[in-house]
Chains A and B, each alone.
Chain A
Amino acid sequence: MDTLQSQGQSFASGMEPRTRTPGIAQDRPRRMRTRRPMSSATHTQRRPDTIDTLARGLGWFSVALGVAEVLAPRALDRAIGAGVHPSITRLCGLRELAAGVGLLTQPDPRPWLWSRVAGDAIDLALLGGAMIDADDDERARLIGSTLAVAGVTALDIYAARAAGEAPRSAPGAMRRDGSIRVEHSLGINRSVEDCYRMWRDFENLPRFMDHVKSVTVQDERHQHWVAKGPAGTSVEWDAEITRDEPNSLLSWRSVEGSDVRNSGAVRFMPAPAGRGSIISVTMQYDPPGGALGKAVAMLFGEDPNMTVREDMRRFKALLEAGETPTTEGQPHGARPVWYKAFGGVNR
């Protein structure tokens, strides 16, 4: 799939699950230098290339400076004209190393970029302090050092702020065209026939899909869906089955002209050695712009991956245990204020 494809094309062609080991994309190049829309839900958050590159650059800068500060604090102190304080410089070096390792290894650069900004502030303060006792030669070098640090600080602030603006509500699921796509697979200790039968009766879906209020089957191929919108509202659409291969594949999508363009597909595969089934689910929503778009984005909650994963966990529990585990409505002692604020009133 490619961003240049028309939405309609990607919408239609994107939904056919490939026959493959679930979760392993065999047709994807191992290293992606150019960022394409993710075809798998398992990927960590991606942000615009330039910020990624800048964050990595700052990461390597941190590591290089950190190594120098830790291994050669005296030489470095002399070079910047700050008097010789090896232990302080070593501590600064450890701080640089932590930020550098964080930037180079963690998926979200933001906390590490802000930690660099804080570190810059400390460096500037230390350089300012050194200025007081400096002789003329040192002062000249200190001014140069301060200017250099100030430049890096500006770069750090820019990177931290820009990274903060990157999309964050839909890790791994939000694609460049604004559509949301999630794939997830799960082993179920029941036959593919049982799994297929449960899903094929679309009226079962609200029993395990948290955001779906009801699905009314209209005829063999068509259903009417009602889902939760924001602030107690509902969104509705009609959907049709696009492929139905019993015990193997089931896919559906909203009919032409729906306000809410979405589609889904489930592949049912027998697990090896008679160990039940593996089902692989792909869901895609193409939110239109405006307020309705926002409403549709809500369908998947704050974290679409998590929503689909939890929906599938409930599907599995319904099939295996006959019910989904819950503690909602159980007694408890006095809860703290913050707990109520998070909506966890009744469990």
Chain B
Amino acid sequence: MRANCWHGKEDVRVENVPDPTILNPRDCIVRITSTAICGSDLHLYDAYVPTMISGDILGHEFMGEVVEIGSDVKKLKVGDRVVVPFTISCGHCFYCEREEFSLCENSNPNAAMAEAMWGHSCAGLYGYSHITGGYAGGQAEYARVPFADIGPIKIETDLPDEKVLFLSDIFPTGWMAAENCDIEPGDTVAIWGCGPVGLFAIKSAYMLGAGRVIAIDRVPERLRKAREDCGAETIDYSQTSVLTALKEMTGGRGPDACMDAVGMEAHGHGLVYAYDKFKQTMRMQTERPTALREAIIACRAGGTVSVPGVYGGFADKLPLGALMNKALTFKTGQTHMQRYMRPLLARVLKGEIDPSFVVSHRLPLDDAPRGYKMFRDKQDECIKVVLKP
């Protein structure tokens, strides 16, 4: 089959690789009909996530048709149309029973590696480095899906792929990030990053009762989308001081909740940014936590900081004094996908949201390298790339 493989910094190649096979009784094989490039894939593309190995198949947002099932798969059958969540969860461990699916204890074969770095492991993830399991990803024609009865959800309508594909990651991720803001009716939520997760988070925050959402970015088309498609007020941080603007806009108190939908490769300016960039390039820290620092400083006292942005290792100069003295609540995590997919599918079916609004580009799978470059460099107003195998 054709598969998009990682070969190093800014080097992804679509190659011929063997087809996946059933390896465990609870596996199924999915023939992929649509797959997408995630903003978090760009951290791999820029080689900031440790434990990638040349030849790894990328991709964790995919859907398709079940073509083969293992002997213990009960709920799915060949021919089912499914969306596959990016987290792999067994369904029976301590965390899965608490619906904290992204913390599954039985899906990461390299859990020891994660324990060494993070103290404990999280669930296995598709195509996202060996510290999260080293599972082959879904930017390919076929993918092996472990624990097939727990992860994939069946799509039993004829809705086009693009309206349900993002149930695989970014819609639930934006939703959980908004839920993590502990929104009370009328709250003001500030969201750093108007990429696809940020955009879904804006929509989700409104659905959860936010009175006001303020979105922060510097890319004109993203700010426009946040304003026009999602109804947010926007701040262009390349033009305005974010902290001052947020104070002015909220009568000095600050937003009730702040969200970092940017993660480890935040952009910024000035000396501190240069310092972070230098340290990250020298591999002295894995993150550039510019957005996170601002979110902590901007948040009102007693407020909540929600972090859907991906971080991998260690960061520097985090304002813990603000976190502590302002009595902030900190909520984060990989998305507990299986908790959200069904209810959010129901919202899509009811027409409350059409997730395809984020798509800016549709490319054949073989054009994945071009898609990565375009997405990373924000060329051609690129916001979200869907690949067709």
Contact = CB atoms under 8 A, between A and B. Distances in A.
A325 B15 contact: no
Interface string B39-54: 0000000000000011
Given A325-B146, A326-B109, A331-B57, A189 B94 contact: yes
Contacts of A306: 112
A333 B13 contact: yes
B21 A329 contact: yes
Given A326-B23, A339-B54, A333 B109 contact: no
B26 A321 contact: yes
B94 A330 contact: no
A325 B109 contact: yes
Interface residues of A, number: 30
Main secondary structure of the interface of B (DSSP, over half): loop
Interface string A314-347: 0011001111111111111111100100001001
Contacts of A331: 1, 3, 17-20, 57, 136, 140
A288 interface: no
Interface in B11-46: 13, 15, 17-21, 23-26
A161 interface: no
Contacts of A330: 20, 23, 135-136, 144
Contacts of A316: 93, 105-106
Nearest to A309: B112
Contacts of A317: 90, 105-106
B23 A329 contact: yes
Contacts of B111: 313
A333 B5 contact: yes
Given A322-B72, A330-B136, A331-B19, A336 B112 contact: no
Contact of B25 (A309, A323, A335, A336): A323
A133 B23 CA distance: 73
A187 interface: yes
A34 B335 CA distance: 49
A152 to B, nearest CB: 31
7 contacts: A321-B91, A322-B25, A324-B109, A327-B23, A331-B140, A334-B54, A336-B53
Interface in B118-151: 124, 133-136, 140, 144, 146-147
B26 A323 contact: yes
B24 A326 contact: yes
A323 B71 CA distance: 12
Interface in A187-214: 187, 189
A275 B90 contact: no
B112 A325 contact: no
Contact of A320 (B25, B90, B124, B133): B90
B55 to A, nearest CB: 4
B21 A336 contact: no
Interface of B: 1, 3, 5-7, 13, 15, 17-21, 23-26, 53-57, 72, 88, 90-94, 97, 105-109, 111-112, 124, 133-136, 140, 144, 146-147
Nearest to B17: A331
Contacts of B53: 335-336, 339, 344
A86 interface: no
B97 A189 contact: yes
A20 to B, nearest CB: 23
B109 A332 contact: no
Contacts of B133: 325, 327
Contacts of A2: none
Contacts of B109: 324-327
Given A330-B136, A333-B55, 14 more contacts: A313-B111, A317-B90, A321-B107, A324-B24, A324-B109, A330-B20, A331-B1, A331-B140, A332-B57, A333-B7, A334-B55, A336-B53, A336-B55, A339-B54
A276 interface: yes
B3 A321 contact: no
A244 interface: no
Nearest to B97: A189
A49 interface: no
Contacts of A334: 5, 7, 15, 54-55
A335 to B, nearest CB: 4
A334 B136 CA distance: 13
Across the A-B interface, the 3 shortest Cβ-Cβ residue pairs: A333-B5, A321-B90, A333-B55
A322 B57 contact: no
Contacts of B144: 330
Contacts of B92: 189, 320-322
A305 to B, nearest CB: 10
Among A324, A325, A339, A344, max chain B CB count under 10 A is at A325
B135 A327 contact: yes
Contacts of B15: 333-334
A310 interface: yes
Contacts of A339: 53-55
B54 A320 contact: no
A325 B56 contact: no
Contacts of A324: 24, 106, 109
B134 A347 contact: yes
A333 B127 CA distance: 12
Contacts of A322: 25-26, 72, 92
A325 B17 contact: no
Interface in A295-319: 306, 309-310, 313, 316-317
Contacts of B88: 325
Nearest to B121: A313
Nearest to B6: A333
A261 to B, nearest CB: 28
A320 B23 contact: no
B112 A310 contact: yes
A189 B17 contact: no
Contact of A332 (B17, B93, B107): B17
Contacts of A327: 23, 109, 133-136
Nearest to B124: A325
A275 B24 contact: no
A93 B140 CA distance: 55
Contacts of B18: 331
Contacts of A344: 53
Contacts of A332: 5, 17, 55-57, 136
